[in-house]
């Protein structure tokens, strides 16, 4: 089991602490591997407290998923849809977002431990409620729209040619994001995914760029942990 959560009664209300611990456990062990008893044990409370707030495991999982996707969509909307950001920067910021999630569950930057909630829930899809499946589906659709906005801005700013196959690039980039968990687990480290991010950007730039290469070089990963 993971160490006890750093959230305690003096830092956050019990409902928030339950959600924090449940999120951590769902990421680590998937939907199947989490129980009210495990959450209660880590918090040092009775599992009846969890029943009071969420009644059932599916309701708790829905609350966890809703909060997780809200933050994830806000992060990627900022990365891919904001003005004044080059395609190079969008790739680096996407890589760094995944890296921060990964290193939280794989300290030192190597290992194949689960780090993302969506992929784990998708793997247990037959156990999810219809509402959860819909949330995941619409989240992936929203992510595609954000990436499309970023590609559109790159074309509009003259960074990419107007002949760029916009839909194809969205498909390529979103596939890289959605399969990142499997790429990392296959390799047992983050380096393979980092290489794929860099290679994908460089191929797109070489094929469709109308601007000079960026002055910046692909930045190395840092050892900083993800913010809590």
The answer to whether residue 2 sits within a structural domain is: no
Percent of the chain with pLDDT over 90: 76
Q: Same structural domain for residues 90 and 175?
A: yes
Confidence of residue 38 (pLDDT cuts 50, 70, 90): very high
Q: Same structural domain for residues 49 and 72?
A: no
Residue 134 neighbours by CB under 8 Å, 6+ apart: none
The answer to whether residue 220 sits within a structural domain is: no
Kindly tell me if the per-residue pLDDT of 3 is higher than 50: no
Q: Same structural domain for residues 45 and 149?
A: no
* CATH code, 119: 1.10.357.10
Q: Same structural domain for residues 176 and 131?
A: yes
Domain that holds residue 82: 67-208
Q: Which has the higher per-residue pLDDT, 3 or 214?
A: 214
In the prediction, which pLDDT does 224 show?
59
Domain count, the chain: 2
> pTM of the predicted model, to two decimals?
0.88
Give pLDDT tens digits for 128-180: 999 999 999 999 999 999 999 999 999 999 999 999 999 999 999 999 999 99
Kindly tell me if the per-residue pLDDT of 14 is higher than 60: yes
Element (H, E) at 29: helix 14-29
The answer to whether residue 190 sits within a structural domain is: yes
Per the structure block, which two tokens stand in for 176?
């890289």
Per DSSP, the three-state class of 172 is helix
The mean per-residue pLDDT over the stretch 47-76 comes to: 96
Q: Same structural domain for residues 90 and 25?
A: no
- How far apart (Å, rounded) are the C-alpha atoms in residues 28 and 2? 9
Cα–Cα–Cα angle for 153, 68, 103, rounded to 5 degrees = 85
In the prediction, which pLDDT does 11 show?
63
The mean per-residue pLDDT over the stretch 205-211 comes to: 90
Q: Same structural domain for residues 100 and 156?
A: yes
In the prediction, which pLDDT does 84 show?
87
The answer to whether residue 126 sits within a structural domain is: yes
Q: Same structural domain for residues 101 and 40?
A: no
Residue 157 neighbours by CB under 8 Å, 6+ apart: none
Q: Same structural domain for residues 75 and 161?
A: yes
Confidence of residue 227 (pLDDT cuts 50, 70, 90): very low
Arithmetic mean of pLDDT over the chain = 90
In the prediction, which pLDDT does 187 show?
74
């Amino acid at each position: 089991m993971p160490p006890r959560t750093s959230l305690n009664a003096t830092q956050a209300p019990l409902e928030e602490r339950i959600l924090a611990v449940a999120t951590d456990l769902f990421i680590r062990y998937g939907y199947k591997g989490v129980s009210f008893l495990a959450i209660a044990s880590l918090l040092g409370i009775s599992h009846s407290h969890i029943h009071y707030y969420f009644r059932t495991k599916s309701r708790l999982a829905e609350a966890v998923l809703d909060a997780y996707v809200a933050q994830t969509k806000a992060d990627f909307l900022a990365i891919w849809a904001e003005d004044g950001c080059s395609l190079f920067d969008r790739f680096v910021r996407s890589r760094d977002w995944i890296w921060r999630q990964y290193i939280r569950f794989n300290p030192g930057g190597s290992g194949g431990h689960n780090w993302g909630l969506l992929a784990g829930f998708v793997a247990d899809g037959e156990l999810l409620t219809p509402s959860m499946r819909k949330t995941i589906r619409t989240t992936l659709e929203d992510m595609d729209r954000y990436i499309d906005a970023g590609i559109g801005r790159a074309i509009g700013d003259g960074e990419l040619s107007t002949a760029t196959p916009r839909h194809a690039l969205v498909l390529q980039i979103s596939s890289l994001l959605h399969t990142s968990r499997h790429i990392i687990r296959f390799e047992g480290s983050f380096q393979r995914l980092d290489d794929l991010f860099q290679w994908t950007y460089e191929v797109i730039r070489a094929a469709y760029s109308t601007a000079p290469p960026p002055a910046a070089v692909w930045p190395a990963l840092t050892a900083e942990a993800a913010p809590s």
